[in-house]
Amino acid sequence: MELHGRHLIADAPSADAADTTFTGVDPTTGDALSPPYCDATDAEVDRALAAAEAAHSQLIDLDRESRAKFLEAVADGIMGLGDALLERAGKETALPAARLTGERGRTCAQLRQFASVVRDGSHLEPRIDHALPDREPLPKPDVRQMHVPLGPVVVFGASNFPLAFSVAGGDTASALAAGCPIVVKGHPNHPGTSEMVGRVIQSAVRAAGLPAGTFSLVHGRGHAVGLAMVKNPRTRAVGFTGSLSGGRALIDAVATREDPIPVYAEMGSVNPVVILPGAASERGEAIANGLFGAVTLGVGQFCTNPGLVFALDDENTSALVHRLEALAADAPDGTFLHAGIRTGYRAGCDRLDAVDGVARSGRADGDGGPGGARATPAVYTTDAATFRDHPALAEEVFGPSTLVVRCPHRDDLTAALATLSGQLTATLHATDADLLGAGDLVALLRDCSGRLVLNGFPTGVEVCPSMHHGGPWPATSDVRTTSVGTAAVRRFLRPFCYQGFPQHLLPDELKDGNPLGIMRLVDGAWTDDA
């Protein structure tokens, strides 16, 4: 596929743009990657969302089998791009081929999982309460509810998952599965990868005979394009993965709309890990190895990266910390997705370095290399009192570093945990004996997070129906929802109720004969009977 560098608005690429503003950049060399891309104009954003709005009225009535086949066709099309997609993504992000191959598999698996969800139909949660005309003192009307799509969704591609959380990633798959048209803002650091995947979706839209506005992709670097998208009156919801500042800016922009809409933003997290004394004594070295692997996986560029560790201040913790320090001293540098992440990582490390009572081990940072994106892993240690006195130590440092907080007493540990803000995940390392007295810790970690991992590590988020990838603010903007797993479809649906309708005007999902054979709550009991 030869890249043309244009926006994909409904069924056509945008016209040539003279005011070229950015290119992809190879983070290992700093070299620009052709072709050039330009910021979408307000008129182009509006055209994409007008087409999405027009598509909504047709998509809402699209049968579920056609929608499922469309999602599968997108997955087939992505596989059909072959190695060219992985090569372009590798050039734009410095992610290794093995990682990108796995991520492509996850992307396609997500699309296929959502196709199954659509076919199954239970995500629509049909509910039927038959009329009771003779009920006293008042008759009961016939009331039927199911979920319907919200309408045009704006999706922001994430930098750290150029496939699985970008143009055809989780937000896109879940919004399309819900039946919503989407307009994606490609992440400016992998525009070529975005274009390739976007053209696959555009082709699948055409081949399925769906309305052209089902999908659009616009490019932009700088905040104007994204802000225009979320403020556009036709936008009905937003899916975002990225920084806390970016997510907050979008939430604030939406709050100034005449009709505020939901913003599902997945932002920062430090993912605390608690190591209890029995576990530190029994398998401290294995925990250190696993922890360091999780901290440096993907050059630390995961929202589930464990950035804070709490343990009692004893000899087993000393041994565990020494092991972490040895691993950090030997670990090679990695290359970040883009030089901007190194700037943020350096600022975060500088913040830790500046605190009296925080010690750094590992090698000193290099100069960033030719692309300005080289990353050096670091392990920091501090004590509970310093942690308590410096709340900024609990803020995310996005990259391959972690801070171990050594707590003299168990009370210091629980007091430190009680100060944590919302997290995507928390992790507990404990033996059976440790767990006997750990009810308070489990409760504290449950209250501040969306997923609690026992004797494992939080990176490597399984994509499955039971997964929850969300958490209290500031991990996400809506604690009730997930951005990974099939439950993500709920974010883009709303309940709708038909009262007193004749059979022929009801959707098949709500007809008495249950022609689709799906699970429904009928007069208070779940059944797939007619």
Task: Please identify, among the stretches 122-130, 220-228, 279-287, 356-364, the one whose residues bind ligand NAP according to the rule CB under 6 A.
Answer: 220-228
CB of 208 to ligand NAP, least distance (A): 28
β-partners of residue 148 are 494
Of 183 and 413, nearer to ligand NAP (C-beta) is 183
Contact status, residue 269 vs residue 396, Cβ threshold 8 Å: yes
Of 50 and 244, nearer to ligand NAP (C-beta) is 244
CA dihedral 223, 224, 227, 229 (to 10 degrees): -120
* Helix and strand element counts for the chain (H, E): 15, 23
- The 280-319 site mask, x for binding ligand NAP (CB under 6 A), equals -----------------------x----------------
Nearest partner of 312 among 177, 179, 411, 198, judged by Cα: 411
Task: Please identify, among the stretches 98-106, 118-126, 153-161, 201-209, the one whose residues bind ligand NAP according to the rule CB under 6 A.
Answer: 153-161
**Residue selected from 106, 127, 144, 187 as contacting ligand NAP according to rule CB under 6 A:** 187
Residues 367-406 that bind ligand NAP (CB under 6 A): 398
Torsion sign (Cα): 235, 238, 242, 247: positive
**Residue selected from 90, 242, 277, 334 as contacting ligand NAP according to rule CB under 6 A:** 242
Helix ranges, 60-96 (H): 64-80, 83-93
**Residue selected from 141, 222, 366, 408 as contacting ligand NAP according to rule CB under 6 A:** 222
* Cβ burial, residue 248 (10 Å; 0-12/13-18/19+): middle
Residues 154-173 that bind ligand NAP (CB under 6 A): 156, 158-160
Report whether the peptide linkage leading into residue 474 is cis, meaning its omega lies within 30 degrees of zero. Answer: yes
Residue with the two structure tokens 């399309």: 176
CB of 134 to ligand NAP, least distance (A): 56
Please state, in angstroms and as integers, the Cα–Cα distance from residue 179 to each residue in 1, 170, 277, 495, following that order: 29, 14, 50, 14
Contact status, residue 58 vs residue 211, Cβ threshold 8 Å: yes
Residue 373 in tokens: 């994106």
407 is catalytic: no
Of 158 and 417, nearer to ligand NAP (C-beta) is 158
Please state, in angstroms and as integers, the Cα–Cα distance from residue 265 to each residue in 230, 424, 465, following that order: 12, 12, 20
335 binds ligand NAP (CB under 6 A): no
CB of 314 to ligand NAP, least distance (A): 33
Residues 91-110 that bind ligand NAP (CB under 6 A): none
Residue 513 in tokens: 């004969």
125 is catalytic: no
Q: Known catalytic residues? A: 266, 303
For ligand NAP, the binding residues (CB under 6 A) are 156, 158-160, 185, 187-188, 220-223, 226-227, 241-243, 246, 249-250, 266-268, 303, 341, 344, 398
